[in-house]
Amino acid sequence: MELPKHIPQLDALRAFAVISVIVYHGADRLGPLYSIASFGWVGVDFFFVLSGFLITRILLSEKESPHFFRNFYARRALRIWPLYYSVLLLVIGGYGVLKLGGGNFLI
């Protein structure tokens, strides 16, 4: 059985995982709901399980294509590297601007 390319229900589960982690980080402000919000750490584990499922699904669907490992990692790199290097440049540039301003900042 072939799974559809996009499964909207997984987007809802991903949103649940993200929201549970956000609520967990603010759990101390929730008073009586603290006991429920304290289980938000499960969202991180759930997010990793969901990511593993999606990545495995991609690998299994493309295993017959030529150079599928190379193509898979090339797509991952093109997806991650631009954001990574943008943040890296922003941090280094921000540090340089703060250092030139004479501020005593710990980074």
Phi–psi pair at 81, nearest 5 degrees: -60, -45
Give the residue from 21, 53, 57, 15 showing the smallest Cα distance to 37.
21
**Both tokens assigned to 16:** 């649940």
| pLDDT score for 89 | 93
Q: Average pLDDT in the 66-70 region? A: 87
In the structure, what pLDDT confidence band is assigned to residue 101 with cuts at 50, 70 and 90? low
Mean pLDDT of all residues in 65-89? 91
pLDDT > 90: percent of the chain: 21
- Using pLDDT thresholds of 50, 70 and 90, give the confidence band for residue 78: very high
Which position has the higher pLDDT, 84 or 26?
Answer: 84
Q: According to the model, what pLDDT value does residue 62 have?
A: 82
Q: Is residue 28 pLDDT above 80, yes or no? A: no
Average pLDDT over residues 6-12: 88
Q: What is the pTM of this model?
A: 0.62
Contact 49/78 with Cβ under 8 angstroms? no
Of 36, 48, 40, the residue nearest 16 (C-alpha) = 40
